[in-house]
Amino acid sequence: MENFIRDFSAYRLDEVLQDWKPYAEIVHNALERTCKRNGLAFDPAVAEEIYNRVPTWGPNPRRARRARQDRERISAGCADQFDECPDPAEYRKAGRPPSPMC
């Protein structure tokens, strides 16, 4: 099963990186290729069922946690920049527009 999931993930990514097509077609093609690679019979109804279940999936908890940590780290790193913004008059003296960061 682990090989099947790994293969499906790789084929799905390959399908996504090609020219645009509806996601239902991406799932269908990826599952068909995965079944062929693993010597299993492909059933288009199963591909449709997988596609129909996609909206019910929630975010991957590990990836959601990592994204939240990254946002917090980036926000904390940028906070210093906002504390040290020079006076806009300094920009005018130098003939530059004020920084968009300030």
Q: pLDDT tens across 42-87, in order? A: 999 999 999 999 887 777 777 778 777 777 776 666 655 555 566 6
Q: Could you tell me which residue, 35 or 60, shows the higher pLDDT?
A: 35
Residue 32: pLDDT band (50, 70, 90) is: very high
Q: Is a pLDDT exceeding 60 seen at residue 101?
A: no
- Report the predicted TM-score, pTM, of the whole model to 2 decimal places: 0.58
Do the Cβ atoms of 8 and 34 come closer than 8 Å?
yes
Q: pLDDT tens across 1-18, in order? A: 899 999 999 999 999 999
Q: Is a pLDDT exceeding 90 seen at residue 22?
A: yes
Here the tokens at position 63 are: 């990836």
Q: How far lies 75's CA from each of 3, 66, 72, 80, 101, in Å?
A: 39, 14, 5, 9, 13
